Structure 1
Amino acid sequence: MADFVQTTVNKTALRDLAVPIADVTSFNTLVQSVIDDNPFGCVGYTDGDGQTVDPIVLNREHYIAKVDFLDAGKRVGTVSLNSPSIAAFDANAAEVLANTALKTAMGATDVVRNGPRETYYAQLRCHDPSGDDYYVTFTRKTVRLSSYQDDAIRDAVETWADDITSLD
Structure 2
Amino acid sequence: MADFEEQSVSRNVGRKLATPFASKNTLNTLINTILTDNPWGCTSYVSGGSTLPAVSKSSEYYSGTIIYENTEGKQVGKISVRSKTAAGFDTNIATILGNSAIETAMGGSGSHDSSTDSFHVTLKCHSSDGELFNVTFKRDKVAITSFESVAIQNTIETWADTIPELA
* TM band (smaller chain): over 0.9
Q: Give the partner amino acid of 2:92.
A: N
RMSD: 1.0
The equivalences for 1:1-168 within 5 A come to 1-48=1-48, 50-71=49-70, 72-108=72-108, 110-168=109-167
Alpha-carbon shift at residue 70 of structure 1 (Å)? 1.8
Alpha-carbon shift at residue 53 of structure 1 (Å)? 0.2
Alpha-carbon shift at residue 65 of structure 1 (Å)? 2.5
TM-score (norm 2): 0.95
Most deviating of 95-104 and 64-73: 64-73
Alpha-carbon shift at residue 76 of structure 1 (Å)? 2.2
Question: Cα deviations across residues 72-101 of structure 1 (Å, max 9, x unaligned)?
Answer: 333322211111111110111011100111
Secondary structure in structure 2 of the residue aligned to 1:14: strand
Distance 1:60 1:115 in 2: 21
Distance 2:30 2:163 in 1: 9
TM-score (norm 1): 0.95
Secondary structure in structure 2 of the residue aligned to 1:92: helix
Alpha-carbon shift at residue 112 of structure 1 (Å)? 1.2
Alpha-carbon shift at residue 47 of structure 1 (Å)? 1.1
Gaps of 5+ in 2: none
Q: Give the partner amino acid of 1:165.
A: P
Aligned pairs, how many?
166
Most deviating of 69-78 and 5-14: 69-78
What percentage of aligned pairs have identical amino acids?
Answer: 37
Gaps of 5+ in 1: none
